[in-house]
Amino acid sequence: MQSFWLLLALSGMTTQHDLPVNCDANICWDVSPQICVTEQQKQSCQSQLQLHWYSDTAQNTCLYLAEQKLQCWQNVTQGHWKQKLSWENAALTLRSPDNQILLQTELQVLSRKPARRRLSSPWSIF
Amino acid sequence: MAAKADTAEVCLDDPGCATEQKLYLSLALGYGQRSNPLYDGEELPLILLPEVYYYGENWFFDNGKLGTSWALSEQWHLSLVSQLNSEKGYFQKWFGGNVFQFSQSFTNASISEERIGPMQASVHEISKRPTAVDAGLQLDWFSDNWQVQSNVWQDISNTYQGQHASISVGRYWENAFGRWQFIAKLNWKSAKLIDTYYGIDNNDPFYLRRYNGKPSWQPELRLSWQHPLSERFAVLGFLRYLHLDDAMTDSPLLRTNNITTWFFGVSYRLF
């Protein structure tokens, strides 16, 4: 890790075997954290990502980060995945064998610092 | 393992920062003035002020300054910049460097004006001063609350054929009243620049006292304040004082040794 980093868990942390709450759909998941915050811009951000998906019916699914396959499950109603990532902005997706996206969550890297400092003073036209 | 995508960046809600590839446009409505140091020069009323800036990946436009910038490190930035020279704004009220638009000059040469005195020259009497475009280098150093900026400019429009430069130290802070910025700046302007705008030569009426410009040192203080009222509205004010040395005040055109600018109003951010 190159820098100080801070994790925000926006979706709420769940313990490893808890089922997702407030799930009205046939398939749901909890992903945590969804945002990794660096102190400075363009610093790498590393954190442990964990997710838990749950379905009414048994599913064959695969987990992707962007287009990178992370793990697959066969004929199960729920799955759990946990790993330390060096991440940037990317879509985390759970897909069926025919590559249909069943669930999608955007992972983000944010910086606590301004994107950049201005090179003129505010209101300096005159 | 790493996901491949662009890094998202967040810009704190601060007037001194910008998110890349986002256009910022704000208007401030209020009242203020920029004084005019010239005999018969009109003060510039400040009623509606624009603030426009855009920072792309490789270039930026910020309130009339167009440039490209390289981050030498987290704290050092070097930029190649260009902008309209601001001197003409004292000779022509609605000058592009004042409000991004040109209109008719009020500085037509005339001998019908009443004489001010034997040693003075009215802005109405002299020949038209040129519109100049400058290009140069800008070096910035940033820390959390400090900014040091130095500029070297060269006329690239072949008008005054001179240079000017500046170095400034700025301090930012925030308190219960809002966000503050204080800048101390030292400007240097070459003899050719001073001579072109404030000199009196054979292009000007024969009866005016001749004056050859000299290099000028001009210290400047700026205090700015902004208090956010909501996400888009803010109250703002600023006060600027530019001191003119004898290279300027020796000119028959000059009636004061300073230029003051102030404004107080409410701003609204459109983008």
β-bridge partners, B138: B79, B151
pLDDT digits (tens, 9 = 90+) for B44-81: 999 999 999 999 888 999 999 999 999 999 899 999 99
- Averaged confidence pLDDT in chain B: 87
Domain that holds residue A93: 5-16+29-111
Those residues with Cβ within 8 angstroms of residue B72's Cβ, 6 or more apart along the chain or in another chain: B78
**ipTM confidence:** 0.84
Residue B90 lies in a domain: yes
- Assess whether pLDDT exceeds 60 at residue B231: yes
What confidence tens digit (pLDDT) does each residue in B173-203 have? 989 999 999 999 999 999 999 999 999 999 9
Contact with chain B for residue A109, Cβ under 8 A? yes
Angle ∠(B213,B216,B218) on CA atoms, nearest 5: 145
Q: Is residue B16 situated within a structural domain?
A: no
Question: Among B9, B36, B261, B262, which would you mutate to test the A interface (most chain A Cβ atoms within 10 Å of its Cβ)?
Answer: B9
Instruction: Confirm whether B6 is domain-assigned.
Output: no
**Which residues on chain A are in Cβ contact (under 8 Å) with B6?**
88-89
Highest mean pLDDT among A110-124, B3-17, B24-38: B24-38
Residue B11 falls within a domain, yes or no?
no
How many independent structural domains does chain A possess? 1
Residue A117 belongs to a domain:
no
Residue A124: inside a domain:
no
Report chain A's mean pLDDT, rounded to a whole number: 79
CATH for A59:
2.60.40
- B106-141 pLDDT, tens digit per residue, is 444 344 445 566 678 999 989 999 999 999 999 999
Q: Is A48 on the interface with B (CB under 8 A)?
A: no
Q: Flag whether pLDDT at B222 surpasses 90.
A: yes
**Contact residues, chain A, for B139 at CB < 8 Å:** none
B102–chain A Cβ distance below 8 A for any pair = no
* Chain A residues lying within 8 Å of B99, measured CB to CB: 125
DSSP for B225-255, written as a single string: EEEESSSSEEEEEEEEEEE--HHHHTSTTB-
Q: B91 with B123: CB under 8 angstroms? A: yes
Q: Is residue A70 part of a domain?
A: yes
Element (H, E) at A29: strand A27-32
Please answer yes or no on whether B140 and A109 come within 8 Å at the CB atom: no
Interface of B with A in 107-166 (CB under 8 A): 138, 140, 142, 147, 149
Task: Tell me how many domains chain B contains.
Answer: 1
The reported pLDDT for the residue numbered B10 is: 40
**Residues of chain A positioned with their CB less than 8 A from the CB of B224:** 121-123
Which of B12, B44, B63 is the closest to A120 by Cβ? B63
Put simply, the answer to whether B8 touches A113 (Cβ < 8 Å) is: no
Q: What is the pLDDT of residue B195?
A: 97
Q: How far from B181 is each of B24, B132, B150, B221, CA to CA, in Å?
A: 20, 29, 17, 11
> What is the percentage of chain B residues whose pLDDT exceeds 90?
73
CB contact under 8 A, B6 and A90: no
The alpha-carbon gap from B188 to the nearest alpha carbon of chain A, in Å, equals 18
A64: nearest CA in chain B?
A: B3
Query: Is the Cβ pair A110, B10 closer than 8 Å?
Result: yes
Q: Domain range spanning residue B161?
A: 23-269
Rounded Cα distance between B200 and A70, Å, is 77
Report the CATH number that the domain containing residue B83 is assigned in CATH.
Answer: 2.40.160.40
Domain contains A24: no
Q: Is B57 exposed, middle or buried (0-12, 13-18, 19+ CB in 10 A)?
A: exposed
Helices (H), chain B: 96-99, 191-198, 246-249
Q: Each residue of A91-104: pLDDT tens digit?
A: 999 999 999 999 99
Identity of the amino acid at A119: L
Q: Which residue in the set A90, A108, A120 is minimally distant from B62, CB to CB?
A: A120
Contact A88 B4 (CB under 8 A): yes
CA B130 to chain centre: 17
Matching residue, tokens 């009323």: B45
Domain contains A126:
no
Any domain includes A23: no
Of the candidates A41, A89, A122, the beta carbon closest to that of B5 is on A89
